[in-house]
Amino acid sequence: MSEILRCDHLTKQYGNLYALNDLSLLIESGKIIGLLGPNGAGKTTLIKIINGLLTPSFGTVTIEGDSPGPKTKPKVSYLPDISYLNNWMTVEQIVSMFADFYDDFRPELAYQMIQNLGIDKKMRLKTLSKGNKEKVCLILVMSRNAKLYVLDEPIAGVDPATRDYIISTIINNYNPDASVLISTHLISDIESVLDEVIFIKNGRIVLHDTVDHIREEHGMSVDDLFREVFRW
Amino acid sequence: MVKKLIKYDFASYMRLLIPIQLAVLGIAAINRVVQIFENYDNEIYGIIFGSSVALYVISMIVALVLTVIIAIVRFYQGMYSNEGYLSHTLPVTPTQHIFSKLIVSMLFMLGTLLTIFVSLCIVTLGEMNIELFKSAGFLLAKGFERLRWNLPFYIAELLALMIISFFGGMLMMYFCISVGQLAKKHKILAAVGVYFGIYVLSQIIGTVFAVYISLNPELFETLGEWIEANTEAFFHIVFCIGIVLDVIMTGVYFFFTRLLMTRKLNLT
Amino acid sequence: MDWMLDKKRPICPQIVERLCIMIACEKIAAGERLMSVRDVAVKAGVTPNTVQKSFEQLEQTGVIYSKRGSGWYVCDDIHIAKDVLNHLLREKTLAYLNDMRSLGISDEKIIEIIKEYRHE
């Protein structure tokens, strides 16, 4: 088991507002981890910093010892919660693009999953239904052989069948050398798939524990505990 | 890596610019066809001919302007909009991104210029074509007569200046956009503000320079005399200073744009 | 995703239980190869780590054993699995009986009710 992600006193300030406040965190390999918190808690800020889309005000973040940059980008596979791909491209073109830029991308795997869903690879992204678009984006991200997968709200806004598909895909692609960080506020759907959960509130970590330990100690599901911790 | 980026940037520009090129060529073709019905006595013909020529000229200007605007917009979209999430998570450095976008905008500028050239040939298809090339040849011969073997150097310097200015101009836009991103709200407005700021600054420097020279009439006279005696050298010096200044400014803009992208990236 | 796990209890013990039941009821025969960790994880909708832990626990208690490169197999002696099943049956039955008794229903009535509804 090795160290995949480490954050040390990570802080992100916007004027007087602290999006992240002295946040320290360690994620080891082979774990599926939930980053749970209400909107505005700092989940997306943390994720953007991990991916080098934001620079921290103080503190450090390293992926396998390197700061976010050209060394880490080949190791991190990111699924943003927004539509970030060119809509005019076809599924085929996007798969080629990923294959072009990422050495660890496995196009055969991607095509297999796309075929299983009955999606025609010649279709343009903009003609796909919302559910299918989300699935394609997830397939692209999971078809990489990365060290850290970062999924920002992968199951929000999709129907339950798609949700199940997404969760199965995450399980199926499990790799003991890699870790998956899933940021979500839909906890009850996903808590069984998580090894550990991190509760984040006002830019700080309030809890980082295994799911089983939480259930054992508190006698309730993670979802129930979350509601308690984040009660107004 | 840059080659791969260029491939994909090229594809996205193409979708936008091909219709424009086709439009210019199409309007040129229409012009040529209209010319066939030449009848300057007919009022209606006069109106149609006049409009088609105007349309053609407008289309050329629009094509050039759009080529530049699209280059700027693609930079903004690619680096700072939703697409930025893709661009900045690819295993590519900001330097490579900037190079790729610059090269592709240059290629398309050349493409648009080539289209304009071809459209001119279309419009003047027939005898006029020959006239056109004859005049071009004539100009070239005159230049050769006056400048002897220095002509190629002049042309090379002119081309270098044009290319460097283009890169400098593009990078200045990239710089303005990147600085604009530092603002909390109205980032595009801030970019425009930076652009005006640079413009005003350059005007001030130019005016100070001019005032200094005009306040020193002897300097002005000496300068004038020297220019008359060494006209060719003067032009060379002006070109070279222009090129050097452009190279410096290009370097400065590149350096800061890259710095902002690496240190101060703030995607929302 | 059709294992219907209780969200309030830790996952690992539930997986262990479920597998024991499957073995005790001979849904997986003695000596037969189990589904891979990953397949169980997908079916149950849980992380492979948890399934791995469950398998290791089952190995420790002697219900299954692993063959390197080949996978996990059910031990020939399944009495431990049967013990687990019996324990679970006892727990659930006692809980049911307690519930019914607290409603004031006699034991004979309970048996009648079960006979009446068992075919539904």
What is the residue extent of each domain of chain C?
11-79, 81-117
pLDDT in tens, C25-69: 888 888 888 889 999 999 898 999 999 999 999 898 888 888 888
**Rounded to whole angstroms, how far apart are CA atoms B180 and B177?**
5
- Highest mean pLDDT among A5-9, B20-24, B160-164, C4-8 belongs to A5-9
Q: What is the mean pLDDT of residues A227-232?
A: 85
CB within 8 Å of C45: residues ≥ 6 apart:
A164, A167, A168, A171, A192, A193, C1, C3, C5
Instruction: Tell me how many degrees the CA angle C71-C73-C78 measures, rounded to the nearest 5.
Output: 160
Confidence of residue A181 (pLDDT cuts 50, 70, 90): very high
Instruction: Tell me how many degrees the CA angle C64-C70-C76 measures, rounded to the nearest 5.
Output: 30
Instruction: Give the residue numbers spanning the domain of A221.
Output: 3-229
Find chain A residues with C-beta within 8 A of C8's C-beta: 215, 219-221, 224
- Would you state the structure tokens that stand for residue C64, as one six-digit string? 């299954």
Nearest to C9 among A188, A215, A224 (CB): A215
Q: How far is CA C25 from the centre of its chain?
A: 9
Average pLDDT score, chain A: 91
Find chain C residues with C-beta within 8 A of A223's C-beta: 7
Q: Answer whether B91 sits within 8 Å of A53, measured CB to CB.
A: no
Q: Is B89 within 8 Å of A73 (Cβ atoms)?
A: yes
User: What pLDDT score was predicted for residue A196?
Assistant: 95
Q: Is B254 within 8 Å of B168 (Cβ atoms)?
A: no
pLDDT in tens, A168-177: 999 998 888 9
- Highest mean pLDDT among B194-203, B231-240, B255-264 belongs to B194-203
User: What pLDDT score was predicted for residue B40?
Assistant: 73
What ipTM score was computed for the predicted complex, to two decimals?
0.89
> Which pTM was predicted?
0.87
Q: Is A156 within 8 Å of A81 (Cβ atoms)?
A: yes
- The interaxial angle of helices B94-123 and B2-36, nearest 10 deg, is 20
The DSSP bridge pattern shows strands A3-14 and A17-28 to be: antiparallel
**Rounded to whole angstroms, how far apart are CA atoms B48 and B71?**
34
Q: How far is CA A91 from the centre of its chain?
A: 22
What is the CATH number for A24?
Answer: 3.40.50.300
**Selecting from 3.40.50.620, 1.10.10.10, 1.10.3720.10, 1.20.140.10, what CATH number does the domain C11-79 have?**
1.10.10.10
User: What pLDDT score was predicted for residue B185?
Assistant: 83
Q: Answer whether C12 sits within 8 Å of A212, measured CB to CB.
A: yes
- A171–C contact, CB cutoff 8 A: yes
Residue type, A64: E
Q: Is A187 within 8 Å of A36 (Cβ atoms)?
A: yes
Find chain A residues with C-beta within 8 A of C10's C-beta: 211-213, 215-216
Q: Answer whether A78 sits within 8 Å of B89, measured CB to CB.
A: yes
- Range scoring the smallest mean pLDDT among A138-147, B8-17, B85-94: B8-17
Q: What is the mean pLDDT of residues A138-165?
A: 91
Q: What is the mean pLDDT of residues A26-37?
A: 94
Q: What is the mean pLDDT of residues A71-89?
A: 92
Q: What is the mean pLDDT of residues B125-147?
A: 78
Q: How many domains does chain A have?
A: 1
Cα radius of gyration rounded to whole Å, chain C: 17
Chain A residue with minimum CA distance to B90: A73
- Would you state the structure tokens that stand for residue A171, as one six-digit string? 């399980």
User: What pLDDT score was predicted for residue B263?
Assistant: 79
User: What pLDDT score was predicted for residue C1?
Assistant: 55
Confidence of residue B218 (pLDDT cuts 50, 70, 90): confident
C-beta neighbour count of A134 within 10 angstroms:
23
Q: Answer whether B15 sits within 8 Å of A52, measured CB to CB.
A: no
Asked if the model's pLDDT at residue A190 lies above 80, the reply is yes
pLDDT in tens, B68-118: 999 999 999 999 989 999 999 999 999 999 999 999 999 999 999 999 988
- Range scoring the smallest mean pLDDT among A142-146, B188-192, B228-232: B228-232
Q: Which residues pair with A34 in a beta bridge?
A: A182, A197
Asked if the model's pLDDT at residue B245 lies above 90, the reply is no
Q: Is C42 within 8 Å of A192 (Cβ atoms)?
A: no
- A2–B contact, CB cutoff 8 A: no
**Rounded to whole angstroms, how far apart are CA atoms C53 and A170?**
19
Find chain A residues with C-beta within 8 A of B266's C-beta: 54-55
Q: Answer whether A30 sits within 8 Å of C44, measured CB to CB.
A: no
H helices present in B81-184, as ranges: 83-87, 94-123, 127-147, 151-180
Find chain A residues with C-beta within 8 A of C38's C-beta: 171-172, 174
HSE-up of A183 (CA within 13 Å, CB side)?
A: 23
